[in-house]
Amino acid sequence: MAKMKCPEEIAAHLVEISKGFYLRGWVSGTSGNFSAVVKRDPLVLAMSASGADKEILSPEQILLIDDQCNVISERAAKPSAESPLHTRLAREFGTGAVLHTHSVWSTTLSELEAAKGGVAIEGYEMLKGLTNVQTHEHREWLPIVENSQDMIALAEMVSRTLRNSPAAHGFLLRRHGLYTWGSDLDEAKRHVEILEFLLEATGRLRMMKQGEC
């Protein structure tokens, strides 16, 4: 199990990740949200505040929230509306960090592949960057979950979906973006980088093939 960091270290790491993702076009404006477990019992997450611009995210915009998504730090900000997804993943699946991006490729492919229920990716060397994947012949299945503004219902739908796809390293919300996770922030960040690369490669290859018709 990854060693827990103090809230200040986690906040600084989240800010660093946020600015890096912004520069790569994965969290434009106020899109996306990030969290990391501060402690397990009782569950406390450090999480980006609602409406925070990811280019200029500051440590003061990283809130501490409890299992019920209540802010327990002394900061006058609201937690992200998607906090229930983060707490559910941490509680039920043991994630140490959850990162959610809104890239063009994850958003468009989540719509194009919605009828199939997910995006299948295989044959790429980059797949070996995902935890417990040893070969490029691995077939990664990213389930697509229908988006909803009812976050409690959405969290339940995500939970059901992941129980049916226990090997998945992430999922897509339709017309919304990518969710992935890790045992800690470093692993979660790596999974974002790998999956965003693979989604872009998949999307670009599809465009090239269509251009040949």
Q: What is the pLDDT of residues 99-122, one digit of tens each?
A: 999 999 999 999 999 999 999 999
Q: What is the mean pLDDT of residues 64-93?
A: 91
Alpha-carbon span 95 to 196, nearest angstrom = 19
Q: What is the mean pLDDT of residues 76-97?
A: 93
Do 61 and 19 meet the contact criterion of CB atoms below 8 Å apart? no
Task: Name the average pLDDT for the chain.
Answer: 94
Q: What is the CATH topology of the domain spanning 7-211? A: L-fuculose-1-phosphate Aldolase (3.40.225)
pLDDT value for 120: 97
* Interstrand relation of 177-182 and 170-173 (parallel, antiparallel or unpaired): antiparallel
Q: In what order do the strands lie in the sheet with 44-48?
A: 62-66, 44-48, 33-39, 97-101, 177-182, 170-173, 139-145, 118-122
pLDDT value for 1: 43
Do 26 and 192 meet the contact criterion of CB atoms below 8 Å apart? yes
Alpha-carbon span 35 to 45, nearest angstrom = 6
